[in-house]
Amino acid sequence: MKKTLLFLSLMAAPALAGEGKWTPQQVLELDPAWLKAQGLQVSPKKLWDPKRGTGLLAGAVNVGGCSGAFISESGLVITNHHCAFSIIQEHSSPQRDLITQGFLAKGRAEELPGKGARVQVPRSFTDVTKEMFAAVPAGADDLARQKAMERKEKELLAECEKRPATRCKVASFDGGVQFVLIDSVELADVRLVYAPPRAVGEYGGEEDNWMWPRHTGDFAILRAYTAPDGSAAQFNAQNVPYKAEFFFPLATEGVKPDDFVMVLGYPGITFRALLADDMAERQARYYPRVVDVYGELIRILEEEGEKDPAGKIAVASTLKGLHNRYKNSGGQLAGLKRGHIVEKQREAEAAVVAWAEKRKEYAGALKARAELLSLQAEKGKAFEREFLLDAMRVGAKGPALAVTLARLAQERAKPDLEREPEYMDRELPRLKDRLEREQKNFFAPADKRAFLALVRRAQALGAGERIAAIDKHFGRTYSEKDVSAKIDALYAGSKVLDLTERQKMSGETEAQLRTRKDALLELGFDLATELVALDELRDRRLGASVRLMPEWRKAVLAHAGKPVAPDANGTLRVTFAKVKGYTPRDGAFYTPQTTLAGVMEKHTGQEPFNVPEKVAAAANAKRYGPWADKRLKDVPVNFLADADTTGGNSGSPTVNGKGQLVGVNFDRVWENVANDFGYNPDVARNVNVDVRYVLWLLDQVEDADGLLRELGVRKGPKAQESR
């Protein structure tokens, strides 16, 4: 990777313990003495080799928006149960409910392929900042600026992906201060090896989600495959396990309080670089609306799912995503308020402004900030309409699928480099997988009620925020009886919801789709028109942001005078931490580890605390094998660390100073949800499955002898008691 920009250099000051999602290149610039003092026992150079794209960090892989880690040289990947949920659901039915029962492949022939499942292994990082900005024509307005940079990004990706089985990405850092081209190997044959029962993988359900103490076995094991010659390939019975150049050995001794750990993975997005006004808008409008709208959709899907066993399976994956966003938004609101984060950001901004006003070289930064504030005020005027249009993309499968088919036909008529990124040729395999996979998630009674709820909200919008497509198809005034009847007719008369016909539609032109006279498709075209206009408006805003934000961020970084890791953006990062408890409120202290005894203490026999019989039998018999912690005198289940994590870190390997896997990250504590806006060392805690709980389940509960041997772990005696 080319040398990072000067202001990202970390040699001038020591890194801050806990805080910071550091890029691979930044890790190489950290003070080796500091890293050793923290507990790193391998050479920092072994973390990442920029010339070869290898090292310890390369063992952390991207698993479809989650993180994961190779744990054997034969392609085994550990991630979260909720990250593998779509594969589990894909192979589940009322007659063979793998969601409830769990799954263990007794041999490789039994491993279950996941449609659309992919694993990306990082290979190289190249600074392309100059190339991106050089693509902008002189005098370009903000929309033209964004379109030119988007075109350049597509060209860079096309060149990068000439190599077989390659997936590339151009990532923006610090709002456009730096652009990096990331090259990864993409493995497209990914199979399920082991998933615990849902009552283990989701133990505590939404009641315990984001909470501590936690007792959840949120992990699953996959395997990546290649063609016999080692090249990446789609699923084929002749494929062989991927040979991982680096994998994490399992630290069977686990961790104890104050141990050093690292969390590696692909954190999705954080907002610490936002101006205070942007943060305030999310606090005042965005998160409350997510709680409101998604809360209603959750209630609908739960009510309808309880009426039909097949329907319950169908809505399970969608519900999981909705629940997570819903509870996350509540946590963001609580954390923003409790931590006075917006107020602190205003104070921090004011300090930078006062500092910059005394330095002529930062006059441009002050001007940029003023224009960014003006843009934020303008953006807020159409908030409700834009929020609901976005909800139409995901809130109900019927209109969402119709929009996708309409957009696909329109975009495919353009040259590839002129299409919207999500409809380029490189994305079509993923898009077609999704069009097929959504059939498993579709349950008509729930979907129609969800759409009804969205239409009701759209019809309640003010005169200046109307959604024309909704007004055209449903009228301007809400009547539950009339709207419900129209939705019933739309769904009954459409082929969009038939998998075979939808697959045909995905290859048809706009003219061919129009001749079908499918009313749901026509609604999709009308919604697509408004979504295209909204996307163009956002492109203009993004162009303005890329023009202005780098100027402001350069001043912020210069004023900081210390290392500042860029906001998360879905790229490979590492955070350094210690195993620690915390004080959630006055008079209370949470220890950093939970145990199998705690699992059984919560057991009620009812969801979400219904321990599977085979797990309870082993626990009650104190059949711990070699997996009990000598200090705890029990099998550790979960542990806390003060790592700087966020969404996307689900499934991240948590490793010790030797580079051995000690756990799998799966959550944050409730008090830490607003960590996305600012790191607070007092409550910044991530939640991990202890590797010893993983091994205990495989050994003492599942008798997964073959899997244990592959992991290089000796099976424990069944009769061994607690130490």
pLDDT in tens, 467-498: 999 999 999 999 999 999 999 999 999 999 99
Give this prediction's pTM: 0.91
- Give the torsion through C-alpha atoms of 546, 551, 557, 560, to 10 deg: -130
> Does the structure show a pLDDT above 50 at 12?
no
DSSP conformational letter for 108: G
Residue of 189, 208, 218, 518 with catalytic role: 218
Q: Which tokens hold the place of 616? A: 């309870």
- Residue 158 pLDDT > 90, yes or no? yes
The question of whether 603 is a catalytic residue gets the answer no
Tokens of 365: 């930064």
pLDDT digits (tens, 9 = 90+) for 18-63: 799 999 988 888 889 989 999 999 988 899 888 777 789 999 999 9
Q: Which of 629, 650, 676, 699 is catalytic?
A: 650
**Distance, CA of 689 to CA of 692 (rounded, Å):** 8
Predicted local distance difference test score (pLDDT) of residue 4 = 36
Q: What is the pLDDT of residue 18?
A: 79
Mean pLDDT of 248-271: 97
In terms of DSSP bridges, do strands 653-655 and 636-641 run parallel, antiparallel, or are they unpaired?
unpaired
Q: Which residues contact 321 (CB under 8 A, 6 or more apart)?
A: none
Check pLDDT > 60 for residue 445: yes
What the block records as the tokens of 35 is 């890293």
722 pLDDT more than 60:
no
Confidence at 658, pLDDT banded by 50, 70, 90? very high
Q: Considering the chain, what is the average pLDDT of its residues? A: 94
Contact 28, 50 (CB under 8 A): yes
Is residue 231 annotated as part of the catalytic site, yes or no?
Answer: no
Where residue 6 falls among pLDDT bands split at 50, 70, 90? very low
Please state, in angstroms and rounded to a whole number, the distance separating the CA atoms of residues 659 and 57.
Answer: 9
Instruction: Tell me which of 13-22, 77-86, 90-99, 523-532 is least confident.
Output: 13-22
Neighbour-count burial of 94, counting CB atoms closer than 10 A to its CB (0-12 exposed, 13-18 middle, 19+ buried) = exposed
Residue 30: its pLDDT value, please? 85
Alpha carbon distances (Å) from 289 to 284, 341, 377, 593, 714: 9, 20, 18, 35, 51
Please report, for the chain, how many H helices and E strands are present, in that order.
26, 18
Is the pLDDT score of 13 beyond 60? no
Looking at residues 583-593, what average pLDDT do you find? 96
Residue 434, pLDDT score: 93
Is 498 annotated as catalytic? no
Q: How high is the pLDDT of residue 51?
A: 77
Contact 231, 238 (CB under 8 A): no
Would you say 199 and 600 are in contact if contact means Cβ atoms under 8 Å apart? no
Percentage, residues of the chain above pLDDT 90: 90
DSSP state of 112: E
Confidence band for 3, pLDDT divided at 50, 70 and 90: very low
Read off the pLDDT of residues 287-334 as tens digits, 9 standing for 90 and up: 999 999 999 999 999 999 999 999 999 999 999 999 989 999 999 999
How does pLDDT run across 385-427, given as a tens digit for each residue? Answer: 999 999 999 899 999 999 999 999 999 999 999 999 999 999 9
Q: Which of 67, 81, 82, 323 is catalytic?
A: 82
Tokens at residue 387, please? 């929020």
User: Prior bond to 415 cis, omega within 30?
Assistant: no
Say what the pLDDT of residue 14 is. 43
Give DSSP secondary structure letters for 642-673.
Answer: -----TT-TT-EEE-TTS-EEEEEEEE-GGGG
Structure-token match 């050089």, residue found: 134
Mean per-residue pLDDT for 346-363?
97
pLDDT category of residue 17 using cuts at 50, 70 and 90: low
According to DSSP, the residues that pair with 285 across neighbouring strands are none
**pLDDT per position as a tens digit, 52-75:** 777 899 999 999 999 999 999 999
| pLDDT score, position 715 | 79
| Secondary structure (DSSP) of 673-713 | GGGGT---TTT--EEEEEHHHHHHIIIIIT--HHHHHHTT-
| pLDDT band (50, 70, 90) for residue 564 | confident
The backbone torsions φ and ψ at residue 155, rounded to the nearest 5 degrees and listed phi first, read -65, -40
pLDDT beyond 80 at 579? yes
